[in-house]
Amino acid sequence: MGSVEADFSSSVIWKDSPKYEEARVGRVFNHRRPDRYPRAVVEATSVKDIVNAVLLARELNVRVSVRSGGHSWAAWSVREDAVLVDLGKFRRLEYNEETSTVTVSPSTTGRILNGFLTTKGKLFAGGHCPDVGLGGFLLQGGMGWNCKNWGWACEKIKAIEVVTAEGKVLTCNKDENTCLYWAARGAGPGFPGIITAFHLEVRDAYSCMMSSTFQWPISKYQEVMDWVVKIAPQCDESVEVVSVGLRPDPTKDPIILAGFLSFQNSEEAAKKSLSVVNETRPAGTIMEAMCLPTTLEKEYCAQDLANPHGHRYTSENAYIENDANVSEVLREAFTTLPEGTKTFALYFAMNPCSRREPSGMALSMQSDHYFALYTVWEDAKDDERCQTWVKDVMAGVEKHSVGAYLGDSDFQVRRTKFWGDSQARRLMHVRRDYDPEGIICGYLDQGDKSGVAGLDNVFEWQQRPEWDLTSTL
């Protein structure tokens, strides 16, 4: 193994190194840290480092795991006895003015990318949370800014650069290595390679962003949620629509919030876009902020506050059936948030994006109604309480769902559908074709046993009444 390691321009950090623990989990956002220990960590700074890491893993007869931003709730990058390739120090950010495309390395965050693009008068609809790396975000589909109207971020991938499980370097697009290009848009952590660069189509930036935000006591939950579901399709294509259940004071009753964010190029246009919600909002608000000028950076700061660092997280989600009674399905989630925590329940309106059939990519699971739980606490003594609450809530919600989003899931805990049936079958074939030995760590299911086979893509609750909470990070 020394022959491969000697070629590295960056160091290989082994278990006996004083740097090991920081390299293992220092960039893992979720402080509910996993009890899994890679054989070594490679802090790559070049494509050559990544190739050498794959070759090292093959020499050691172990697998390779990959970390882009470290924001996976289940810490997918941290695998037992694998070579962990950490891309945090591998950076690339280039804009091509002729093609309006940007080339980025996977650890580039939405905040960094848009800070750069702002100087070019451009925008990319990356993740809402500012420190989410584009690697995991795009592989999972990318539910980014105004996804409801602009569509999935992965639809803007024009090409990718990949290191395969054999250590080969490939470019993949609609004309070459098309199977990997197809898989990269929606495969999630099961992608059978290491992406080193995304080539992304960007859009023109907006000169006027404006928001309207309202809060009500939780006693108004049903009226407000019914209104949000009804009003969302009436909003124009500039408006992102969200509803949130949260406890601004963790010791007091929850509230329900509705937020509407408009991307326009004039104050007049933004006010017109928000008028439909401003004029029809339910009575009884405890806070109103209508037509408030904002910026993407201000929105990132707000997301930072909602997703605090140094906390323990459990995330769950579901795409709710289009014709479901949404307010009833989500009532428990929004109204019984665990006390003493910073937990929030989120509803995103997804129509009309959800009414457009995804084409030419693995991404294939969506509905008009997206729901996610972000359960946030600080003390390990609350682990069981918070996880049990999530289990109880999801037991009711999942029976009204069509599937789930990869990015807010933990395959160790709950098994469900993440793709359409035909797309799932094709994706698992791509995994086997490009990585038949299972060198690249795939989907972290219970016991990390999925390997080359991948996930079953089935509603487990239809077969088993209970799902297992014994697995932790």
User: Distance (Å, rounded) from C-alpha 329 to C-alpha 324?
Assistant: 8
Query: Which of 71, 86, 101 is the endpoint of a domain?
Result: 86
| 282, 390: one domain | yes
Query: What tokens appear for 289 in the block?
Result: 């902020």
Total domains, the chain: 3
Whole-structure pTM value: 0.95
* Position 295, amino acid: T
Instruction: Among 68, 86, 104, give the residue marking a domain's end.
Output: 86
Flag whether 173 is in a domain.
yes
The answer to whether residue 465 sits within a structural domain is no
Residue 375: which domain range? 208-408
Answer yes or no: is 137 within a domain: yes
DSSP string, 217-231: EGGGHHHHHHHHHHH
Per residue in 188-210, is it b (16+ CB within 10 Å) or e — as a string? bbbbbbbbbbbbbebeebbebbb
Q: Which of 386, 408, 430 marks a domain boundary?
A: 408
Report yes or no on 271 lying in a domain.
yes
Find out whether the peptide bond into 352 is cis, omega within 30 degrees of 0: yes
Q: Are residues 343 and 367 in the same domain?
A: yes
Contact between 66 and 27 under an 8 Å Cβ cutoff? The reply is: no
Beta bridge partners of 260: 212, 241
Neighbouring CB atoms inside 10 A of 468's CB total 13
448 in a structural domain = no
Q: Are residues 304 and 251 in the same domain?
A: yes
Pull the structure tokens for residue 344.
Answer: 């929030």
Here the CATH number for the domain that contains residue 293 is 3.40.462.20
CB-facing half-sphere around the CA of 34: CA atoms within 13 A: 26
Taking phi first (over 0 means left), then psi (-120 to 50 degrees means alpha), and beta for anything else, what does residue 117 get? alpha
267 and 372 in a single domain? The answer is yes
The pLDDT score that the predictor gives to residue 434 is 97
Q: Are residues 166 and 248 in the same domain?
A: no
Question: Tens digits of per-residue pLDDT, 44-59?
Answer: 999 999 999 999 999 9
Q: Residues 69, 131: one domain?
A: no
CATH label of the domain that carries residue 73: 3.30.43.10
Exposure string of 405-442, with b = 16+ CB inside 10 Å and e = fewer, is bbbbbbbbbbbbbbbbeebbebbbebbeebbeebbbbb
User: How high is the pLDDT of residue 11?
Assistant: 81
Digit-coded pLDDT (tens) for 114-155: 999 999 999 999 999 999 999 999 999 999 999 999 999 999
Structural domain includes residue 462: no
Residue 67: how many CB atoms within 10 A of its CB? 29
- Residues 257, 377, single domain; the answer is yes
Residue 316 maps to a domain: yes
CA pair distance 398, 459, nearest whole angstrom = 9
Q: What is the CATH number of the domain that holds 102?
A: 3.30.465.10
138 plus 116 within the same structural domain: yes
On whether residue 307 sits in a domain, the answer given is: yes
Residue 231 pLDDT: 98
Same-domain check for residues 196 and 54: no
Q: Are residues 265 and 307 both part of a single domain? A: yes
Indicate if 47 and 137 belong to the same structural domain: no
Helices (H), 99-244: 110-118, 134-139, 147-150, 178-184, 221-231
Q: Are 32 and 311 in contact (CB under 8 A)?
A: no
Specify the residue for token string 């959800």.
Answer: 354
Burial class (CB in 10 A: 0-12, 13-18, 19+), 9: exposed
Residue 462: per-residue pLDDT: 72
Between strands 312-320 and 344-349, the pairing is: unpaired
Distance between CA atoms of residues 73 and 201, nearest Å: 28
Q: What digits encode the pLDDT tens for the residues 168-219?
A: 999 999 999 999 999 999 999 999 999 999 999 999 999 999 999 999 999 9
Q: Are residues 131 and 263 in the same domain?
A: no
Report CA Rg, the chain: 22
pLDDT tens, the chain, 473 aa long? 456 655 555 589 999 999 999 999 999 999 999 999 999 999 999 999 999 999 999 999 999 999 999 999 999 999 999 999 999 999 999 999 999 999 999 999 999 999 999 999 999 999 999 999 999 999 999 999 999 999 999 999 999 999 999 999 999 999 999 999 999 999 999 999 999 999 999 999 999 999 999 999 999 999 999 999 999 999 999 999 999 999 999 999 999 999 999 999 999 999 999 999 999 999 999 999 999 999 999 999 999 999 999 999 999 999 999 999 999 999 999 999 999 999 999 999 999 999 999 999 999 999 999 999 999 999 999 999 999 999 999 999 999 999 999 999 999 999 999 999 999 999 999 999 999 999 999 999 999 999 999 999 999 877 654 444 444 46
pLDDT of residue 469: 42
